[in-house]
Amino acid sequence: MLTIVVDMMGADKGMEPLKEGVKRFLQDKSFDDAHLVLVGNTEELKEFDSEERIKKVNATDILPMEAGALDAMRMKSSSMNIAVDTAVSNHYDAVVSAGSTGGFISLATIKMKMIEGIERAALVSPFPSKIGKQVTVLDIGANNENTAYQIFQFAQMGALYSKLVMGVEKPKIYLLSNGVEEKKGSPEIKEAHQLIKESGLEGFQGNIEGRDALRGEADVIVTGGYAGNIFLKTSEGMAVIMSELIKEAFRRNTISKIGYLFAHTGFDKMKEKMDYKSFGGAMLLGINGVAVKAHGSSDAYSFYCALKVAYRMSKEKIVDKIKEAVNALKNQSEDGKENERL
């Protein structure tokens, strides 16, 4: 049995799609050992009263979307704050929220605390790729600035995530850079390249450019938070622009509208493939617990996906695995020092 705490407030479209997502998750037999603690206005959660696997915690205040770290900590009555507290104090397995990203990162990092030895938490998200397979990208924006060592740790955590949560047996790992050559990149990226290479991280393939990142070759794309966020939003924005242009092209005149009638099945498939919302959200890696940030604009399906990811991360004990990796690395470097002394 495992327990996931769910912040039911603060999503863009209110509680309805989240409730639908929860129902879908409950109906899915794959997760029948999961219990949920729903945090929100219990008046609005009455339909779950008879559900054995659900507990409810009342919270009526919503943390605003634009809330910063300080606001998030100060507003103790917010459903998000109560959700994270509930997870921490009861040692529950995971917490999921569709509210303010900044607020959630702050609350989860401060209250769940960092894994010892990990310098910075990273926000990780699966991206759609041309061939349909999902690509794991981190950090997509938990940080404004990262050192080479932090980026190196992101590579380790990303590799574990790809294996354990995405089920990729031998993930191919790339550093996002402005050139494929080893010597290309910002100073931090160049140094991170060396650190990753020296560590012998399995599956490390070198640098990749933004142009090729989503073609499907890579399983994990590693980058600092500032560049990662630009990568995320640029690719997402471009996909949206292109989709809008496709619509315009079909709406051009009566003849093109007829064309749509003939061709739309293929385009529906394409839309599905490149839909950023169907990936559940973003996960915070490097903290002492499982924290999943669902899209603010989640619909029922994407919220269900977010719950699924939280379940899988808990089940696969990703936090423990990251701890093991950090310790292995620590021992390695201590052995190194030992050898130097001899």
Minimum CB–partner distance for residue 249 and a copy of itself (Å): 3
Residue whose token pair is 């393939």: 205
The residues that touch a copy of itself, with contacts defined as CB under 8 A, are 130, 141, 144-145, 176, 178, 184-187, 189-190, 209-215, 225-227, 229-246, 248-250, 252, 255-256, 258-267, 269-270, 273-274
CA distance 147 to 140: 15
Whether the Cβ atoms of residue 195 and residue 152 lie closer than 8 Å to each other: yes
Considering the complex, state which of residue 134 and residue 186 has its C-beta at the smaller distance from a copy of itself: 186
Question: In 3D, which of 40, 36, 112 has the Cα closest to residue 82?
Answer: 40
Output phi, psi for 194, to 5 deg.
Answer: -65, -45
Considering the complex, state which of residue 21 and residue 281 has its C-beta at the smaller distance from a copy of itself: 281
Minimum CB–partner distance for residue 223 and a copy of itself (Å): 8
Considering the complex, state which of residue 40 and residue 102 has its C-beta at the smaller distance from a copy of itself: 102
Strands 134-138 and 122-128: antiparallel
Minimum CB–partner distance for residue 248 and a copy of itself (Å): 7
Considering the complex, state which of residue 24 and residue 190 has its C-beta at the smaller distance from a copy of itself: 190
Minimum CB–partner distance for residue 108 and a copy of itself (Å): 19
CA distance 242 to 262: 20
Minimum CB–partner distance for residue 3 and a copy of itself (Å): 33
Sequence-separated (6 or more) residues with CB below 8 Å from residue 252: none
Sequence-separated (6 or more) residues with CB below 8 Å from residue 106: 68, 69, 72, 73
Considering the complex, state which of residue 1 and residue 255 has its C-beta at the smaller distance from a copy of itself: 255
